[in-house]
Amino acid sequence: MNYGVDLGLRQGLVALLRELVKVKGLRWIRPFYLYPQQVSDELIALYSGEEKITKYIDMPLQHINDTMLKRMHRLGTKASITALVERLRTRIPRLTFRTAFIVGFPGETDAAFEELKQYVTDMEFDRTSVFLYSDEEGTPAIELDDKLDCRVMEERRTELLNLQESISLGKSRDLIGRTIEVLVEGISEETDRLVETRHEGLAPEIDGVVYLDDGMASAGDFVKARITDATAFDLFGHIVG
């Protein structure tokens, strides 16, 4: 997200968020697709101090091996990225951190992939998407050598997703027994006996939902829900107020 760059603003996103939090009726403001180099002390302070800005960071890291980051023309190193994630987690209470990685980028060795797997294990991100590299016309990567076989890329994607699923399941289960605030979206498409809601750490379309099977609420309501069960992606509970 590079809001304001075309206007010559150095802190365009910060300026935008400062105006959005003034708008009456807005309850959850959720920026997507932050780049590490965009994160300033001012932005962190907004996330930490403004109730309307969700404690949710969506920051695709792409890879973590330093050689791969250079080949991808990504700014930063493993050390600087790790320091940033730790700073965000320290400064922003109850932060949900979603990221994304690309596997199979030309030149990704077994060692580089193993380093990525270990990093995901160590960092315990709340959510992780995994994409397969594919050639795209007009990109520098299309000219790179050491392309990987599609089967190898698929296997790596599956490994990483399975690893993240286990991490996400543990984090979801930590919420069992807790009472959290959720936003009601409406009757579930799965069954009219369930209401679909989301808590602050679940974004539309890319994350799971909170299914509620008891209590009355309308779409757009914010209610309290007690969590009784969980999968890696979804939560289950009932309205308590």
The predicted-structure confidence for 121-168, as pLDDT tens digits, reads as follows 999 999 999 999 988 777 777 777 888 899 999 999 999 999 999 999
Reported as half-sphere exposure (CB side, CA atoms, 13 A), residue 180 has a value of 25
pLDDT digits (tens, 9 = 90+) for 39-77: 999 999 999 999 999 999 999 999 999 999 999 999 899
**Structure confidence at residue 4 (pLDDT):** 53
Q: What is the pLDDT of residue 71?
A: 93
- State yes or no: pLDDT of 1 exceeds 60: no
Structure tokens at 32: 């997507």
Homologous superfamily assigned to 179-239: Nucleic acid-binding proteins (2.40.50.140)
| Mean pLDDT of the 104-132 span | 97
Q: How far apart are CA 113 and CA 101, in angstroms?
A: 11
Contacts of 114 (CB under 8 A, 6+ apart): none
Instruction: Compare 143 and 115 and report the one with higher pLDDT.
Output: 115
Average pLDDT for residues 82-102, to the nearest whole number? 97
Q: Residue 84 pLDDT more than 60?
A: yes
Q: If we measure between CA atoms, which residue out of 38, 62, 116, 125 comes closest to residue 89?
A: 125
d(CA 29, CA 46): 11
The CATH architecture assigned to 55-173 reads 2-Layer Sandwich (3.30)
Q: List, by residue range, all CATH 3.30.750.200 domains of the chain.
A: 55-173
* Residue 97: closest CA among 130, 62, 60, 131: 60
pLDDT at position 233 over 90: yes
Q: CB-based burial of residue 28 (10 Å sphere; 0-12 exposed, 13-18 middle, 19+ buried)?
A: middle
Residues of the chain with CATH 2.40.50.140: 179-239
The pLDDT value given to residue 174: 97
Rounded percentage of the chain residues whose pLDDT exceeds 90: 80
Structure tokens at 171: 């984090």
The band of 114, judged by pLDDT with boundaries at 50, 70 and 90, is very high
Alpha carbon of 178 to those of 55, 90, 184, 228: distances in Å?
Answer: 18, 22, 18, 8
Q: How high does pLDDT run on average in the chain?
A: 92
CB 215 within 8 A of CB 207: no
pTM, 2 dp? 0.91
pLDDT at 217: 84
Is residue 147 classed exposed, middle or buried when 0-12, 13-18 and 19+ CB atoms within 10 A define those classes? middle
Residue 121 has a pLDDT of 98
- Please compute the mean of the pLDDT values over residues 187-212 and round it to a whole number: 92
Nearest Cα residue to 62 out of 128, 15, 123: 128
> Average pLDDT of 166-188?
96
